[in-house]
Amino acid sequence: EAGVAQSPRYKIIEKRQSVAFWCNPISGHATLYWYQQILGQGPKLLIQFQNNGVVDDSQLPKDRFSAERLKGVDSTLKIQPAKLEDSAVYLCASNPPGTRPKYFGPGTRLLVL
Amino acid sequence: AQKITQTQPGMFVQEKEAVTLDCTYDTSDQSYGLFWYKQPSSGEMIFLIYQGSYDEQNATEGRYSLNFQKARKSANLVISASQLGDSAMYFCAMKRSGAQKLVFGQGTRLTINP
Q: How far is CA A64 from CA A60, A61, B68, B86, in A?
A: 9, 6, 40, 38
Residues of B in contact with A55 (CB under 8 A): 100
Which chain A residue shows the shortest CA-CA distance from B91?
Answer: A42
Q: Which of A41, A103, A107 sits opposite B106 (nearest CB)?
A: A41
Asked if the Cβ–Cβ distance from A48 to B100 is below 8 Å, we say yes
Q: How much is the pLDDT for A11?
A: 97
Model confidence at A102, pLDDT cuts 50, 70, 90, reads confident
Say if residue A1's pLDDT is above 70.
no
Q: Is B31 on the interface with A (CB under 8 A)?
A: no
Asked if the Cβ–Cβ distance from B100 to A106 is below 8 Å, we say no
**What is the pLDDT averaged over residues B24-42?**
94
How many CB pairs lie under 8 A apart between chains A and B? 53
The secondary structure of A69-110 as a DSSP string is -TTSS-EEEEESS--GGG-EEEEEEEE-TTS---EE---EEE
Asked if the Cβ–Cβ distance from B107 to A41 is below 8 Å, we say yes
Q: What angle do CA B44, A81, B107 make, to 5 degrees?
A: 30
Q: How far away is chain A from the Cα of B107, in angstroms, using its nearest Cα?
A: 6
Q: Is B104 on the interface with A (CB under 8 A)?
A: yes
The secondary structure of B13-69 as a DSSP string is EETT--EEE--EEE-S-SSEEEEEEEE-TT---EEEEEEETT-SSPPEETTEEEEEE
Q: How far is CA A24 from CA A28, A70, B54, in A?
A: 11, 12, 34
Q: A68-81 pLDDT, tens per residue? A: 998 889 999 999 99
Q: Which of A45, A89, A103 sits opposite B101 (nearest CB)?
A: A45
Q: Is A105 on the interface with B (CB under 8 A)?
A: yes
Model confidence at B58, pLDDT cuts 50, 70, 90, reads very high
DSSP category for residue B74: E
Residue B44: closest CA among A85, A48, A4: A4
DSSP category for residue A25: P
Q: Is B28 on the interface with A (CB under 8 A)?
A: no
Q: What angle do CA B67, B100, B37 make, to 5 degrees?
A: 40
Q: B70-90 pLDDT, tens per residue? A: 999 999 999 999 999 999 999
Tell me how far apart the alpha carbons of residues B51 and A29 are, in angstroms, rounded to a whole number.
23
